[in-house]
Amino acid sequence: MTLEHEERRRAFGFVAPALIWTCAFFLIPFAVMALLSLAHLEGRAIIQSYDLGNYIKIFTEPSFFKSIVVSLEITLTVTVLSVLLAWPLAWIIATQVPPHYQRLAIMLAVLPFWTSYVVRSYAWALVLGQNGVVMQGLIGIGLLDEPIQIMATRTATVIGFVHFFVMLLTLTIYSNLIQLSPNYARAAADLGASGWQTLRHVILPLTLPGIMTGAFLTFVLCIGDYITPQILGGNNELTMPQLIMLQLGRRGDFPMASALSVVLMAIVTLAYAATARWLKMERV
Amino acid sequence: MMQKSINAGLGSLTAVMLSTTSLWAADELNALVWCDHTDPALLEPFEKAHNVRVNVKEYEGTAAGLAILDQSRPGDWDVMVIDGVDVGRAVDEGRLAALPADEFDTGTFFPEVVMPENNTRDGVTYAVTEKFGYNTITYNAAKVDLEDMNSMSSLWSGKYDGRIAIYDYYLPLLGLLGLEQGVATSDLDADAVEALRDRLYALKEAAQSVSDVVASQTALATGEVDVVIGGGEWLTAVLAAENPDLNWSIPKEGALRWTQSIAVLEESENKDLAVEFIKYITSPEGQARLATSSCYWAMPANASAGDILTDDEKSTLRWDQQADYLSRTQLYPIPDADLDLAMQDLWTDMLQQ
């Protein structure tokens, strides 16, 4: 046995547990799900004759296709808003807060992570309700004469999501910002760049890996979330996870739920492909 | 010294193992249930009396319950709570075991909910009704015109736009819409259901949300909505002490009567214990606890529970008006599998409007 062969065997030995884990808990279940997505429901029986019927229904049935559109609209809105809010917050923490207070500032920023996701969503339901703090405050300061409906709308869903994902993005962007050498800004200043030009042409591009990593995580977690739209959206439109839950919990239509899940995974894969060149975690 | 410590340690370990073993040795009963059966106050007396543990799993909608059975191993489940109108369907599929009828005396039950046409087949009893109530109009009396609540049609008048929540369960809601259009639940076929599409969409247009039990209760309690169509005593009873204005009525078009039955599963390997559980649930004590379960209150099928319930509890359940309510309500629609899917498709379309 050659030395090279021995090294390969050893390398495979190190990788094998991860491979076995991935096969057992991702690849095989995914293959089963993909196969099931080609079956279909007749009455209450799952018929094992395989075709693309479920996929055709997803893309031709308006209420099914709309769930893809709704999910994408909400997810893209949430991702953009979260980035726009998180970047300045992370920048302030990284550059304006004294170093020994930064840990406290980050802890305060992620404090809401410590509460249950469901509880947080219900708390938003109460806050955004007609008799909630937001509405009463707006009426109190004279901005509104009577309550408007925010709860049970897409706006409420977006607010609930953005609150959560701003924290996540702040962490990824902050960890990127504190690794930047101050010499970049000094060099830009020496070359005559204004503060804004330095931010726009030096700092911002250098934090793109952190932004894109956080944005990708936001996209994946947001598009697959069931709780927030269910609690805050008032069932007034269906996202893909809600539609999947309807197939599972009410119809017992496992093939259609599988097909929707495969489509959801395909969307996430496309999002990964679009952002892959920035997703180098070691740079964050 | 060391040996003593080791011996003491081994002794403790053995004791722990034995106690754990005795825990494991206790019988377990696995029940597929609705959320009212998850209340520990309901289960504890049975668990203590029989030294067993009752494992419950909640499900929503008969199709989902039967799908869970399909996905489980034979014998995984012992007891199932099932919509009263779906017992026949489960019997047809061979899911339910015959019950010893002589051990279940329904003589003290409200006669309208014994439903032998549903719970028995060829003289064999397969299920027993345990609880019933109504899907109708629930409202905040301080915020609505009470006269309007006597007619379902007022919900489409525009007066309550943005103040209505629709209970998110297609069967009773389509049944109610049928009644509003003058179609009896037993006459709801594919054409009649399709004819309700525009009316359903218009209701969605007027509604603030389409919500499950908890969300409906929250919306009504916080003043987010003033009317819940599809609600009933099960929605307001737990909130009555907090806000006496929360009320419900049966409009002139009528309303739906829901019943839930309990049965032993044919593949159960623990049938004797399962029968004991059903005997407990249908006993006066079990019925009183089930009627006032923390998830939702509703009328017990066995009128003997009235001896145990307090006057306040009976008043909240409107015990004395039951004769009138029972006479003015209809059972749920009973769709076959295809019509059921068509109804769900319509419901999904409505949600996505």
Of A102-106, B143-147, B235-239, which range is least confident?
Answer: B235-239
Among chain B residues, the shortest Cα distance to A250 is held by: B64
Cα dihedral value B222, B223, B227, B232, nearest 10: 30
Confidence at residue A280, expressed as pLDDT on a 0 to 100 scale: 60
Please report, for chain A, the start and end positions of each structural domain, with discontinuous segments joined by +.
64-283
User: Do A235 and B209 lie within an 8 Å CB cutoff?
Assistant: yes
Chain B positions touching A131 (Cβ under 8 A) are 222-224
Q: What residue ranges of chain B are covered by domains with CATH 3.40.190.10?
A: 2-132+258-320, 133-257+329-351
Domain B133-257+329-351 has CATH 3.40.190.10: yes
| Position with higher pLDDT, A21 vs B64 | A21
Answer yes or no: is the ipTM higher than 0.95.
no
The crossing angle, in degrees rounded to 10, of helices B337-351 and B197-206 is: 40
Chain A closest CA to B161's CA: distance in Å?
12
Q: Choose the mutation target among B160, B344, B351 for the interface with A, i.e. most A CBs under 10 Å.
A: B351
Residue in B162, B211, B215 closest to A149 by CB:
B162
pLDDT one-digit tens code per residue, A26-84: 999 999 999 999 999 887 788 888 999 999 999 999 999 999 999 999 999 999 999 99
Amino acid sitting at position A208: L
pLDDT one-digit tens code per residue, B172-231: 999 999 999 999 999 999 999 999 999 999 999 999 999 988 889 888 988 899 999 999
User: Do B222 and A63 lie within an 8 Å CB cutoff?
Assistant: no
CATH topology of domain B2-132+258-320: D-Maltodextrin-Binding Protein; domain 2 (3.40.190)
Task: Tell me phi and psi for residue B262, to 5 degrees.
Answer: -130, 140
B218 touches chain A (CB under 8 A): yes
User: Do B67 and A254 lie within an 8 Å CB cutoff?
Assistant: yes
B349 touches chain A (CB under 8 A): yes
Strands B120-121 and B128-140: what pairing?
unpaired
Q: What tokens does A177 get?
A: 């910002």
**Residue A185: which residues within 8 A CB-CB, separation 6 or more?**
A198, A202, A203
User: Do A236 and B60 lie within an 8 Å CB cutoff?
Assistant: no
Chain A positions touching B222 (Cβ under 8 A) are 126, 129-132
Task: Supply angle C-alpha A243, A245, A246, rounded to 5.
Answer: 65
User: Do A152 and B208 lie within an 8 Å CB cutoff?
Assistant: yes
The enclosing H or E element of B257 equals strand B255-264
CATH of A64-283, one of 3.40.50.2300, 1.10.3720.10, 3.40.50.2000, 3.90.78.10: 1.10.3720.10
Q: Which of B213, B174, B191, B193 is nearest to B330 (CA)?
A: B174
Among chain B residues, the shortest Cα distance to A130 is held by: B224
Helical segments of chain A, H only: 3-22, 28-36, 53-60, 62-91, 99-109, 117-128, 133-140, 154-177, 182-190, 195-198, 204-206, 208-223, 227-232, 240-246, 254-275
Residue A164 CA to residue A161 CA, distance in Å, equals: 5
Residue B211 CA to residue A151 CA, distance in Å, equals: 12
The residues pairing with B56 across neighbouring beta strands, listed in sequence order, are B31
| Position with higher pLDDT, B131 vs A14 | B131
